[in-house]
């Protein structure tokens, strides 16, 4: 029987060959494409290659992309060069259609590998930035960027435009060796985010026919994600060829999620359902070898084929001329479109051939069991017990008597993670704070669940008691788009140690009536980025403001003894930030205290804001004790805040705030890690 490693290699080989062969599918003169793919490595060190590289640099627009259907190796006159210099500034024609930009990046990578000339690397990285900039927030890419009016703005799977982009990003993420130029770390993180968003877009655009997932269309509307028309003869429809290459891309993902697996299985079922047998394409040529007619001939021995366009409602193949009217027979459209367009394709057969092997490989991976129920490992590369953090949590014992430690290897985990109420006594430990990253990009308007949408935007949600999070980066990557939570904690006896909490508005939702401990953490945000009702003790943390706004928005219950306590923390800010409040009351009984904290120059002299609630000035408790730094100006604080006396400050020890056995020396829950 074929070994797993060989199965994986076979599937990836099929996928690579198929996807690689489809770049520039509609370019008639493929000399430039052939030169990029077929020249030996040593040729890229020749003077001929270097001269062509100068053309490639000249054709690159200032925005980073290239125009399509250009034979870059053709010599340029002085006038042509002057014209290209003008087009550089206008960014005219920059696109990823027909393999443009993707193939130029491959050329630059190959010539850089031989010459190490910095200009090639700079142009390559600029081209990658162009692709990242062109991506929509929903994860799709338009055909042209800067955007052109018309169907060019649609999310474009046609001629594998988006698949080619995704292949490039995946090769850079995997460091597969295809490209000799490696992105810098910050750019690589953006690439990973872009790839994950692209996969999300692919999953969301898979068409449902009567509630059943099928395949994809050549174009999808960039706002609604619904099927969309393109040219007059390219009406919205299910596409055989483009869908095949999307599925091959999904099959190349090393550790697919359940949604990806479901998408592949559904598409394969659809391919089987709509394949056409007993019909053969027949071409009629003239004396000089030009196709003058195409016909479909009955032939029981012919291999399966698939229509280019299929009706959204019933999968019925149709054909279209430049008049934009559906025809149900190929012979019913004119010579020009009938002979100049690929109306039938066999690409889905490659998916059907690879599918059994992919399925077998997947099954063997899924049957692997972890030996130690108290120590579980998650690793993106498949070397652990699970590849998904959520999968590991879901497979732990409910309400365990002993602590379960889930070790998370370095990697970027694009997933919403929920530690359920029954998953108590869990410890989630990253390999390193900097490189073990849990990220997601939900935000208020994206979730769209009404006025309480904020609470659904979390990247990681803790509902269980007695949980430890350690050595992790927890990020909401949606950007400055309103409320978007990175970490939500609703429960009791939760410790967050040596973690980075990244986001903008509402980064940390520290809520519920339980007790929470944040130690040696970095927490950043813009507005109200630490908010909620919990009793929370922050020790030796860096609290970083990214905008002139508010740090805390406590909603402490009226009967709570303590709210938020910050001790030995450092408050920092971006360079242009200089007007930040320590807090404002989300609810009028808010309690927030800063003790022995270093306040940089960004904190406003008044310190606190009443959120336009005059009554809150009588009910909140905002206080400080022995803070220091340029922004510690106790005499200028609002008169309804407090500067604690030494005797009053003694109430704010960690044992007093978080402890359960205040009068004994018994080990407390926050001392057990």
> Which residues are designated catalytic?
506, 528
C-alpha count within 13 angstroms, C-beta hemisphere, residue 116: 0
- Under a CB-based contact definition with an 8 Å cutoff, are residues 379 and 411 in contact? yes
How does strand 404-408 pair with strand 279-285? unpaired
Distance separating alpha carbons of residues 581 and 636, to the nearest angstrom: 13
Distance separating alpha carbons of residues 511 and 492, to the nearest angstrom: 10
Tokens read off for 238: 């299910």
- Residue 387: is the preceding peptide bond cis (ω within 30°)? no
- Under a CB-based contact definition with an 8 Å cutoff, are residues 439 and 459 in contact? yes
For 423-468, the three-class secondary structure string (H helix, E strand, C coil) is CCCEEEEECCCCCEEEEECCCHHHHCCCCCHHHHCCCEEECCCCEE
Burial of 47 (0-12, 13-18, 19+ CB in 10 A): exposed
Distance, C-alpha 224 to centroid of its chain: 19
Give the single-character DSSP code of 134. Answer: H
Residue 518: name the closest of 501, 496, 502 by CA: 496
Q: What are the residues facing 497 on neighbouring strands?
A: 470, 519
Distance separating alpha carbons of residues 330 and 283, to the nearest angstrom: 13
How does strand 487-489 pair with strand 598-599? unpaired
Tokens 């004790």 locate to 625
The phi, psi pair for 31, rounded to 5°, reads -60, -45
Cβ neighbour number for residue 569 with a 10 Å cutoff: 23
3-state SS, residue 167: helix
* Residues with Cβ within 8 Å of residue 244, at least 6 apart in sequence: 18, 271, 306, 345, 347, 348, 350, 351
The phi, psi pair for 582, rounded to 5°, reads -65, -30
Q: DSSP characters for 8-24? A: HHHHHHHHHHHHHTTTT
């Amino acid at each position: 029987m074929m070994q797993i490693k060989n199965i994986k290699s076979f599937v990836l080989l099929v996928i690579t060959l198929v996807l690689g062969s489809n770049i520039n599918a509609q370019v008639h003169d493929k000399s430039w494409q052939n030169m990029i793919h077929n020249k030996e490595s040593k040729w890229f060190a020749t003077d001929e290659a270097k001269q062509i590289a100068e053309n490639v640099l000249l054709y690159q627009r200032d925005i980073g992309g290239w125009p399509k259907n250009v034979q870059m190796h053709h010599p340029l006159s002085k006038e042509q060069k002057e014209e290209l210099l003008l087009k550089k500034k206008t960014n005219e024609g920059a696109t990823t259609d027909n393999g443009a930009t993707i193939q130029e990046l491959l050329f630059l990578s190959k010539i850089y590998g031989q010459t190490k000339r910095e200009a090639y690397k700079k142009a390559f990285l600029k081209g990658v930035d162009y692709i990242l900039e062109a991506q929509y927030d929903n994860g799709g890419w338009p055909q042209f960027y800067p955007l052109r009016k018309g169907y060019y703005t649609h999310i474009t799977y046609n001629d594998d435009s988006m698949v080619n982009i995704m292949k490039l990003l995946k090769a850079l993420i995997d460091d597969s060796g295809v490209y000799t130029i490696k992105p810098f770390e910050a750019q690589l993180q953006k690439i990973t985010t872009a790839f994950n968003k692209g996969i999300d877009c692919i999953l969301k655009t898979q068409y449902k026919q009567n509630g059943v997932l099928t395949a994809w269309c050549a174009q999808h509307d960039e706002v609604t994600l619904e099927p969309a028309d393109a040219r007059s003869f390219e009406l919205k429809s299910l596409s055989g060829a483009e869908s095949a290459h999307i599925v091959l891309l999904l099959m190349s993902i090393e550790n697919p999620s359940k949604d990806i697996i479901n998408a592949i299985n559904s598409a394969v079922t659809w391919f089987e359902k709509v394949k056409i047998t007993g019909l053969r394409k027949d071409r009629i040529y003239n004396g000089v070898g030009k196709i003058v007619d195409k016909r479909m001939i009955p032939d029981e021995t012919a291999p399966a084929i698939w229509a280019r366009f299929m009706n959204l409602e019933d999968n019925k193949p149709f054909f279209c001329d430049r008049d934009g009217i559906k025809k149900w027979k190929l012979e019913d459209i004119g010579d020009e479109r009938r002979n100049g367009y690929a109306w039938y394709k066999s690409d889905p057969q490659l998916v059907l051939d690879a599918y059994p092997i992919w399925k077998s490989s997947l099954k063997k991976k899924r049957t692997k069991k972890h030996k130690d129920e108290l120590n579980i490992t998650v690793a993106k590369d498949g070397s652990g017990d699970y590849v998904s953090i959520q999968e590991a949590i879901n497979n732990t014992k409910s309400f365990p008597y002993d602590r379960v430690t889930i070790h998370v290897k370095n990697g970027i985990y694009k997933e919403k993670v929920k530690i359920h109420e029954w998953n108590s006594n869990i410890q989630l430990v990253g390999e390193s704070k900097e490189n073990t990253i849990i990220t997601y990009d939900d935000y208020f308007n994206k979730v769209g669940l009404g006025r309480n949408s904020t609470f659904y935007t979390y990247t990681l949600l803790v509902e269980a008691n007695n949980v430890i999070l350690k050595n992790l980066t927890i990020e909401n990557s949606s950007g400055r788009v309103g409320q978007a939570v990175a970490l939500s904690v609703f429960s009791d006896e939760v410790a967050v140690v040596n973690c980075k909490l990244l986001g903008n508005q509402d980064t940390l939702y520290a809520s519920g009536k339980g007790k929470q401990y944040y130690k040696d953490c970095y927490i950043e945000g813009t507005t109200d980025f630490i908010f909620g009702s919990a009793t929370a003790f922050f020790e030796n943390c860096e609290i970083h403001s990214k905008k002139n706004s508010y740090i805390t928005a406590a909603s402490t219950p009226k009967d709570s003894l303590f709210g938020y306590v910050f001790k030995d923390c450092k408050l920092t800010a971006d360079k242009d930030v200089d007007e930040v409040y320590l807090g404002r009351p989300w609810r009028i009984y808010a309690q927030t205290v800063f003790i022995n904290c270093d306040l940089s120059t960004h904190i406003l002299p008044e310190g606190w804001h009443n959120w336009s609630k005059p009554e809150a000035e009588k009910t909140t408790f905002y206080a400080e004790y022995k803070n220091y730094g340029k922004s510690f100006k106790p005499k200028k604080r609002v008169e309804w805040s407090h500067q604690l006396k030494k005797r009053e400050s003694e109430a704010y020890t960690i044992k007093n705030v978080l402890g359960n056995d205040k009068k004994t020396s018994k080990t407390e829950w926050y001392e057990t890690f």
